[in-house]
Chains A and B, each alone.
Chain A
Amino acid sequence: MEDEKILQLYLDRNELAIHESAEKYGAYCRAVAMNILGDPDDAEECVNDTWFKAWNAIPPASPADLRTYLGKISRNLAFDRYRTEHRDKRGSGEEALLLDELEEIVSGHEDASSSLIARELLSEIRQFLALQTKEKRVMFVRRYWYADSVTAIARRLGVSENRVSVTLNRLRKKLKDHLNQRGYDL
């Protein structure tokens, strides 16, 4: 079913919307949650919660890109769950690894103004990514949005894992410099 029709089902409060969403984007959302959580049961719960969160949000929300919208909900739910499960200790798996990578960009300290600068920060990151080649941008987003493993990215892009690792490493350093130059000392 086309996205427009699924969206209309949500707007009409027709519960078929959930069924159609699950049918069309279940695997996509599951993959997003699975990458972060590494546990099929937990991932499945996040995916189920995704439909209900979307049901409560639409309307008034009317997403232009339904797949990405649902994917974002799944990512958010999965990360919330990840943080709850690893509140007191370092996690394991892909998510823990990529978080450690992100730590190269930030100080790791508590910062009361974090939430205030998030929007501005995102804008800077957006600018930074827009300046990169498509391949580099895809690598970055696959790693830090989709939480893909280096192997999965290498396979998707048809390059060696070493190339992905080195590219991501350089991107992190460049992003940190980019943000520092603009007055962000994270």
Chain B
Amino acid sequence: MKKEELFETLQDLDDAFIREAEDHSVKKVKTRNLYAYASIAAVFVLALIAGIIFREKKPVTFGTSSAPESVQAESEERHYIYPERLVSINPSYPVSAIKDMDAQSFRVSDQYLKWFSDYREKAEASSGLQAQMMPYCQALIGNVLAESGENAVCSPLNTYIAFSMLAEVTDGNTRRQLLDMLGAEDIETLRRNVSSLWNSNYADTPVLKSLLANSVWIDQAAGFNEKALSRLAETYYASSVSGDMSSSEMLEALKAWINDNTGGLLKDYVDSMQLDPETILMLASTIYYKAAWINCFYTDETKAEIFHGEKGDKTVQMMHSHDSQGVYYGEKYTAVRLSLQDSGFMYFLLPEEGTDVSALASDPEVYEMLTRKTDIDEATKQEERWAFPMVNLSVPRFSVSGSTDLKNVLAAVGATDVLEAGKADFSPLTAAEGMFLSSAEHTARVEIDEDGITAAAYTVLALTGGMPPEEVIDFVLDRPFLFVITGFDGSLLFSGIVRNID
């Protein structure tokens, strides 16, 4: 007999058993909210453009940006509290798919079906993009994670959007190099890609929050090409603020915007943020991400156990589960993936004994594993490489953070013109010469616990005009490992290496 036939045979089980199983339910004493938002991730990208003399000094006016067409009908302006005298134009963003409904009610409602159908269509529309982006992701993760000897985290998707905005305000070879880095043939293709990624990664429901936002911050005394700024607003949904960049008022407004868009998750970083008085323009981008584990960990199964970090052993809180999980056996690693409600997966990659975890960050097999295939046969073959045994999973609660300079990434992929004052071409933005990217700092934090993930990061790109600068297996994450968090469309949202746990 085949397993399917047995399942069919059970179809005619006694009504009494079926009714009993439906009506029997025990109220739990402990609160275990499956739909508690398990993961909160936030990424900020701030591009600081400073120290440039502009010919054009007329006041900047901004085009009104809009949300993607598909969500315009249900959009509203987000209102942040800016000082009154700051010019502020906010683009329309989608409103929550459902308000005043809890996650469980939403999951069985007609609204959910409608939303999910739309969401899936958008994800399918961007399904080919992840493969195009993968070389960029590989370069980013390889550089940011492997180069660091400490814990490290980054957000491929958010830095991709940030560098796309940077490409938008450049031209000539500078833009060409950035486009090559981002895997786009031309700027029009890049615009379509970003729009598609935005659509497929934007979700605001009682179950999942994956919110993207961009903004442009301009010194009121400076002049910019209005068309370039309008383009940033229209294509990248960037809200616009203008004021005295050297004022504390402007700094506080920027901090408020970031905190609003990240739920205050990166407040420690934001609090210590300073603006260079020479700054005349900033591009800021955020992603805010909250998703529940489909199979959550139970707190009563969490125990104090040893994590063998690179700096020595440390007692940590180890979470446990015993369930069937997707397991991938790579040449140098074993990976387990945990599903996130209505989103992608969190992959945990444990290197083979003797293999440095850094090696995984640049291992082509990892990116092959993460690249979602669009061809059905290839996708089937790829899926067949995953086994689904019972897994005794042990994952430490952790909070890791790190900071790195993204200029290394730019240099590694050959996008070097933007780093040099004599070569960087910002002509779409200004006729002034001598502008270049002087720093590109990326800082991130990811935390996980029984409920899920909390993550945050920001990147500061500074441009100045001065001098250039089946079996049952045990999968125990008790030693350094790599993780990757993906979205519903397969986009790489976050990645990191955990070497030590404080």
Chains A and B come from one and the same complex: yes
A interface residues (Cβ-Cβ under 8 A, vs B):
27-28, 30-31, 40-41, 44, 64-65, 67-69, 71-72, 75-76, 79, 83, 89-90, 92, 96-100, 102-103, 105-111, 114, 118, 121-122, 125-126, 129, 134, 137-138, 141-142, 144-146, 149-151, 155-162, 165-166, 186
- Contact between chains at B323 and A150 (CB < 8 Å): yes
The closest CB in chain B to the CB of A154 belongs to B298
- Contact between chains at A76 and B108 (CB < 8 Å): no
- Contact between chains at B21 and A160 (CB < 8 Å): no
Q: Does B185 contact A (CB under 8 A)?
A: no
The closest CB in chain B to the CB of A86 belongs to B4
- Contact between chains at B1 and A126 (CB < 8 Å): no
Known contacts A83-B4, A102-B6, A118-B8; 5 further A-B pairs (Cβ under 8 A): A41-B120, A44-B113, A71-B18, A90-B384, A161-B321
- Contact between chains at B14 and A155 (CB < 8 Å): no
Q: Can you list 8 A-B contacts (CB < 8 A)? A: A64-B15, A68-B18, A105-B6, A106-B2, A106-B6, A114-B2, A138-B24, A155-B32
Q: Does B296 contact A (CB under 8 A)?
A: yes
Cα(A128)–Cα(B4), bound, Å: 20
Known A-B contacts A118-B9, A141-B21, A161-B321; A151 and B388 likewise in contact (beta carbons under 8 Å): no
Known A-B contacts A150-B295, A161-B295, A162-B301; A65 and B19 likewise in contact (beta carbons under 8 Å): yes
- Contact between chains at B3 and A158 (CB < 8 Å): no
The distance from the CB of B486 to the nearest CB of chain A, in whole angstroms, is 15
Of all A-B residue pairs in the complex, the 9 with the closest CB atoms, nearest first, are A141-B21, A158-B26, A158-B28, A103-B3, A186-B1, A106-B1, A102-B3, A68-B15, A151-B295
What is the interface of chain A mostly: helix, strand, loop, or mixed?
Answer: helix
- Residues of chain B within 8 A (CB-CB) of A108 are 1-3
- Contact between chains at A109 and B1 (CB < 8 Å): yes
Cα(A109)–Cα(B380), bound, Å: 23
B interface residues (Cβ-Cβ under 8 A, vs A):
1-15, 17-22, 24-29, 32, 34, 108, 112-113, 116-117, 120, 294-296, 298, 300-301, 321-324, 380, 383-384, 388, 390, 470
- Residues of chain A within 8 A (CB-CB) of B34 are 151, 155
Q: Which one of A40, A72, A146 lies within 8 Å of B112 (CB-CB)?
A: A40
Cα(A166)–Cα(B323), bound, Å: 10
- Contact between chains at A160 and B300 (CB < 8 Å): yes
The distance from the CB of A44 to the nearest CB of chain B, in whole angstroms, is 6
Max chain A C-beta neighbours (<10 A), residue from B13, B295, B296: B13
- Residues of chain B within 8 A (CB-CB) of A99 are 3-4, 7
- Contact between chains at A106 and B3 (CB < 8 Å): yes
- Contact between chains at B117 and A134 (CB < 8 Å): no
The closest CB in chain A to the CB of B300 belongs to A160
Cα(A30)–Cα(B14), bound, Å: 21
The distance from the CB of A169 to the nearest CB of chain B, in whole angstroms, is 8
- Residues of chain B within 8 A (CB-CB) of A114 are 1-2, 5
- Contact between chains at A165 and B3 (CB < 8 Å): no
- Residues of chain B within 8 A (CB-CB) of A134 are 20, 24
